[in-house]
Amino acid sequence: MTAGRLEIADASSWPGSWERATFEELLRAGDLLVIQDGNHGSKYPKAEEFGPIGLPLITGAEMASGRIDLTGAKRLNHKTAESLTKGRAKAGDVLLTHKGSIGKTAIVPPDHCGEIILNPQITLYRVAENGRIDRQFLKYFFDTRIFQDFLTRVTGISTIPTIGLKAQKSVEFVFPDRNEQREIAAVLGALDDKIELNRKTAATLEEMARALYRSWFIDFDPVHAKAQGRAPAHMDPATAALFPDSFGEDGLPEGWDIGSLVDAFDIVMGQSPPGDTYNENGNGLPFYQGRTDFGFRFPKIRKYCSAPSRMAPRDSILLSVRAPVGDLNRAWEQCCIGRGVASLAEKSGRNAYGYEAMWALSDALKAYDNEGTVFGSINKKQLSSLELVLSPNELRDAFEDIVRPIDEQVRNITAENQTLATLRDTLLPRLMSGELRVGEAKEELDAVS
């Protein structure tokens, strides 16, 4: 290793024609304009300076799958935000988490208006528009296994993995000319763009199913319409006939009832198997310990268990029952569940209906996050006793018939995204090391498009 330089891999890992420079050297040359993290210590915003409006402040939790999700971000009032001296990211900035969950990456979207405030665990890299570096190529460089393994090596002895700004600036960046960078980034970006488009499509489909459940089983829109002598909107006569035209004294549609969750679901609470049964080589069933394994709808496989003790059937609802309570996923296949997860299978196999019913209980589930002395949790007795509006079986069947095809679409989209992500992750190291030329990568891309 050259003094003052952190080489992430042997020189033979890269084509000899590619340039090599530390990030500090790129700063001095003007190819990078800024490398900085968020505000530390006394300069970090106080709790009372956050509110419902203002600039978003993000942590590593808001960075996932190469993008920024501002949905749950805290908002910092504009007066405080203007007083901050650094960590103000804007459109086009490349972000890298450097403490705790290190190695997450994202680019602030080019259409983002205003600034995003960073916490101290995120570094922003601002690329000069006319310099030698392409921002997307830089982001993919951070994504490579070579760089991620380097982060693991240099932070491996730390209780909280950290690579500070001084060390980051000493890292040697290896890159081809800017045109080739753009071509490489375009190939990888096309895959990421398709994955993101699919994700948005799946999210729209989920919202359609959620809106229908809300209309039928929470707001009782068809019942209100019939009570007023109108035909329910956007509904065929056979389905409309399943709804009553009046309400009982309890405020529920006539003939409906309040039951407990255990009346509608078979519930299995997870249990952690012996540690020596865990593995990463596919021996046994996929194992999910808690919400850290959860994805958009289906969990990500990180471990397997060769001797599963508690199992969730394919397509069942997976519920986070510990720190936090209430996050939901679906079982892609039969799997082993640890103590942070419960499985719920709708008794008549109506899991599309069951999934939306569980989403409707989000507030009741989240309430358990505030109980307990250390962290929130919910046990089987508490879960089983949660109240649920129970409509006639025929109506639940009708809902299932409508939403099940939507479920299948989301599942198919997820499968396609897994294929695209696998291809991207296969091409990434080969393109970024110069092993694979762009033309060859495009041929592989065409083969699956």
pLDDT of residue 40: 82
Question: What is the Cα–Cα distance from 104 to 112, expressed in whole angstroms?
Answer: 20
> Which pairing describes strands 335-337 and 55-58: parallel, antiparallel, or unpaired?
unpaired
CA-based angle 132:134:135, to the nearest 5? Answer: 130
pLDDT of residue 292: 87
Identify the CATH assignment for 257-390 out of 3.40.50.300, 2.60.120.260, 3.20.20.70, 3.90.220.20. Answer: 3.90.220.20
Backbone angles phi, psi at 56, to 5 degrees: -70, 140
pLDDT of residue 350: 98
Amino acid at 197: L
- What CATH architecture is 11-175? Alpha-Beta Complex (3.90)
Per-residue tokens: 325: 């309570």
DSSP annotation of 176 reads -
Is the pLDDT reported for residue 445 higher than 90? no
Alpha helices in 233-361 (DSSP H): 237-240, 261-264, 351-360
pLDDT of residue 160: 86
pLDDT category of residue 1 using cuts at 50, 70 and 90: very low
Cα radius of gyration (the chain): 25
The mean per-residue pLDDT over the stretch 37-53 comes to: 86
pLDDT of residue 385: 98
pLDDT tens per residue, range 361-407: 999 999 998 665 567 899 999 999 999 999 999 999 999 999 999 99
The mean per-residue pLDDT over the stretch 352-360 comes to: 98
pLDDT of residue 357: 98
The mean per-residue pLDDT over the stretch 244-253 comes to: 97
User: What is the 3 state secondary structure string of 308-330?
Assistant: CCCEECCCCEEEEEECCEEEEEE
Out of 38-42, 133-137, 277-281, least confident range: 38-42
For 186-221, b/e burial (b = at least 16 CB within 10 A) is bbbbebbebbeebbeebeebbeebeebbebbbeebb
Q: Which helix (H) or strand (E) holds 36?
A: strand 32-37
Give the list of residues 6+ apart from residue 344 with CB closer than 8 angstroms, or none.
261, 265, 266, 267, 268, 316, 317, 319, 354, 358
Per-residue tokens: 327: 């996050």
The mean per-residue pLDDT over the stretch 24-35 comes to: 97
Q: Are 345 and 261 in contact (CB under 8 A)?
A: no
Output the average pLDDT for the chain.
93
pLDDT category of residue 449 using cuts at 50, 70 and 90: low
pLDDT category of residue 355 using cuts at 50, 70 and 90: very high
pLDDT of residue 268: 98
Q: Are 265 and 387 in contact (CB under 8 A)?
A: no
Question: What is the Cα–Cα distance from 358 to 378, expressed in whole angstroms?
Answer: 14
Q: Are 291 and 328 in contact (CB under 8 A)?
A: no
**Exposed/middle/buried for residue 370 (C-beta within 10 Å: 0-12, 13-18, 19+):** exposed
Question: What is the Cα–Cα distance from 301 to 320, expressed in whole angstroms?
Answer: 16
Residue 135's SS3 state is helix
Q: Are 383 and 341 in contact (CB under 8 A)?
A: no
Nearest to 291 by CA among 309, 263, 261, 270: 270
Q: Are 96 and 122 in contact (CB under 8 A)?
A: yes
The mean per-residue pLDDT over the stretch 263-291 comes to: 95
**Whole-prediction pTM value?**
0.86
